[in-house]
Amino acid sequence: MICDIQSEKEFDEKVGGAEGWVLLDFFASWCRPCKMMVPVLEKADEAMQGEVAFCRLDVDALEDLAEPFHLVGVPTFILFRGGMEKGRIVGYHDSQTFLEKLRGLMAEG
């Protein structure tokens, strides 16, 4: 199940305080590629259940949380482990490509 980060406290608990893998989707409600990635994320969440926690953060609603990550655009997916950034995936990707990129980042990290 994909969680929505609604506050700094939730971010600290679900991303910063997590020991395992967490993929955080930085998105905007007005962004068409972000909307197109929702089913891709849902498939990835299903395929990697137990391996990675999937979360989303609206960059407009939580601008102060998003700003320190110096995002070039949305959607941007940042993979964390133990609260540390391990890699990024930027833009729209089909399900297969997205899973390949995510697994590649996990193998490196």
48-98: pLDDT as tens digits: 998 999 999 999 999 999 999 999 999 999 999 999 999 999 999 999 999
Q: What is the pLDDT of residue 66?
A: 97
Q: Which long-range contacts (CB under 8 A, 24 or more apart) does 12-17 make?
A: 14/53, 14/55, 15/55, 15/80, 15/83, 16/83, 17/83
The answer to whether 34 is a known catalytic residue is yes
Q: Which of 15, 22, 24, 34 is catalytic?
A: 34
Sequence ranges of the domains in the chain:
3-108
Which run of H or of E encompasses 54?
strand 52-58
What residues form DSSP beta bridges with 53? 22
The CATH topology of domain 3-108 is Glutaredoxin (3.40.30)
The answer to whether 55 is a known catalytic residue is no
User: pTM for this one?
Assistant: 0.96
